[in-house]
Structure 1
């Protein structure tokens, strides 16, 4: 090998190896600090791009979950109102049945009529007040409600189930004044009660469907997040072991460079005699 004080091939090689080790060490330390093997586009452009797109899809599902949860609350309020209305209808039917007894005196009949009218008016109040965030599924004039279903803007539609007096086949003047009229009202109340229970059943079915879809969206989001993690997350156990190895390698590299730098000193000994 050429002995020269201008060029030290051994030192150059040792320096190259030490620089390579330092680069690997910096990469490993970055992965440990960030917890990611692909932290930016510079690390791996293709993987970083894929991960960003999947992360965007997962993040957008938060808006879908918020929309579906509002739907849950709106339906729950409607179901609560529906339960109240069916209870009122049952009591109204009971009052009408009691008033159909021809042996009642006028005072008793009038008291039953007053109770019946009060229960009827409560149905209107229950339907009008069954709102969540200004939205109702059971009020007098409502339309189907449309909620977000996916990250692409798809929709989940819940049909309105009007439970106002008109929606139940009754009116604000539905009442009785005689036992005969009360007997007729019994059939009307039976029909209204059947209508109310059918509409309540439809709301319940919609609620189950919305709950199921919300659960699916949650699982989908978890799967997307896990997929992103598989793409960019670092194996910290592996990186920790590698860190120990590289630190040892770095120390040896420094020693090798120090030894290589001492080589020109042997040339000086040739001039000493």
Structure 2
């Protein structure tokens, strides 16, 4: 139908042109932005996801930057630590050189002082962004709640949509060389439990070395010691002889044991004369030349008479020339089967042509060794890193050489037992409570009590009558879980003031250097972890960007092709509209 009022062809062409213009505009926007989802109206779900992920990607980028800051701190600390190790190695070499005779220790100490200053300088200089992990200021280096610092490691979003950063914990007690309140790797460890109240003592040696020894008290056999011989002793004359009685192993009422008291074993008429010597030592011709010979002859006489006693001379590296000249001893062998430990010479008669044998009417009583009283010193069972129970003290205990039994306690045990929170055993009363709780069930005859400021441990004399060499009470195999620990300060090493401690210093430096090497290894492991985390963060950011692109990026090949097609269609639509608008003009010409 042809109408002069309504141009249907033009209307259709115009609608087509409008549709093409809209499509062309959208395509041009996608080509211009590179996005097929640029706004929520394009695709609400994809736009929401991509916007959230872009935010996450920026957070991960920020975490990666923080990782870089942490890596710089670790790198700085590691560089300082390796430099310190080099200096410590040289330091130890100088100490070894100082052990040589003739070395001027003052000059060596001058070098050591310079090295100490260098280590201190390195530790103070190893700072990045205001943080120094080698020189710290921590109120309590052993408090796990405050001895750590944090390094950001990652950014995460949980299932509920919440966001958080993850951190790596760095334990500065394993890295710091010097701390303002002690506890650095090159400082004295402040967690020294020392004597553990009264359970051990520190034995010192001439070369400066010190060793912890367990406290115990034991008794040796009763002995008549320090008998001085002056010879030669001549028994070759008529009537020359030495005769005496020997009593061994009688009970001693002062030990607190109950009656009746055994009088011991007495041997009458032990004799040494020329006939005795000719029988057993014929080459002597009745003359005892020195104290060794007299001790030998005396021991033979005591043995033949079955007295239960013996004689000998003093030997040992702690005596001059390996012995004590001219001195001998007589002691009970404790072979009588009695509980006592006693030796007595009585009814002595002596006729000698010359010399002096040193025998007199005398006695000796060995004490009961199953008792000890030791002054108490307070101590603390400290924390031990992350272990809530703290440091553990373990030990063995035994009486009279019975098979020992093992025990242990830690910070938690002390706190629960004494109703405390600080792990301290403050006085002798508390130590008695602690030891009683551990030992009483296995050793009911051991009486543990407070003796003023001391702790007394004694085997009940009503249950044990023994004295002498078979008696002993005390501790053994004492172990503390965090020992050995450094008890010296690196900066206080002085071989001029303490020339006898050079070997102690060498041993200390060996252990201290090992601790610093361990710290460097810890930093190296931390470096590796940070590098791995940084690489993961970079990969994660790339994957997130790729994922966003898959959701919202436009396919530029497709869009450019569509743009060209739409532009062609637009040209055709314009031409169609032009043609449609010429139709009314042609109809109007019919009426002219």
Q: Under a length normalisation based on structure 1, what TM-score does the superposition of the two structures give?
A: 0.91
What's the offset of the Cα at 1:121? 2.4
1:230 corresponding residue in structure 2:
550
- CA apart distance, 1:139: 1.7
Tell me the secondary structure at the aligned position of residue 148 of structure 1: strand
41-50 or 93-102: which moved more?
41-50
- The gaps in structure 2 that reach 5 residues or longer are 139-146, 156-163, 187-485
Please state how far the C-alpha of 1:147 moved relative to its aligned partner.
2.3
Alignment correspondent of 2:38: 39
Is the aligned partner of 1:196 residue 2:192? no
Q: SS of the counterpart of 2:83?
A: helix
Deviations 1:190-234 (A, max 9, x none): 011111101111111111011101110111011111112222222
Write the deviation string for residues 33-74 of structure 1: whole angstroms up to 9, x where unpaired: 122222222322222221111100001112201111111000
Partner residue in 2 for 1:162: 176
Q: Match of 2:95? A: 96
Tell me if the contact between 1:99 and 1:112 (Cα under 8 Å) persists in the aligned partners. Answer: yes
Q: Give the alignment of 1:108-257 within 5 angstroms.
A: 108-141=104-137, 143-151=147-155, 152-160=164-172, 161-164=175-178, 166-168=184-186, 169=486, 170-171=488-489, 172-177=491-496, 179-257=499-577
Q: Does the 8 Å contact 2:13/2:580 carry over to 1?
A: yes
Deviation at residue 175 of structure 1 after TM alignment: 2.2
Match of 1:86 in 2: 85
CA contact (8 A) 1:137 1:144 kept: no
Instruction: Give the 3-state SS of the residue equivalent to 2:131 in structure 1.
Output: coil
1:123 touches 1:164 (CA, 8 Å); kept in 2?
A: no
Contact 2:105 2:495 in 1 (8 A): no
Q: Distance in 2 between matches of 1:77 and 1:32?
A: 49
Contact 2:61 2:537 in 1 (8 A): no
Question: Paired residue for 2:584?
Answer: 264
Higher relative contact order (CA 8 A, sep 6+): 1
Other-structure match for 2:66: 67
> What SS does the corresponding residue of 1:37 show, helix, strand or coil?
coil
Offset of residue 100 of structure 1: 1.0
Aligned to 1:56: 55
CA-based RMSD:
1.8
Cα distance in 2, alignment partners of residues 15 and 148 from structure 1: 62
CA distance in 1 between partners of 2:532 and 2:17 (Å): 58
Contact 2:154 2:533 in 1 (8 A): no
Higher strand share: 2
- Structure index of larger Rg: 2
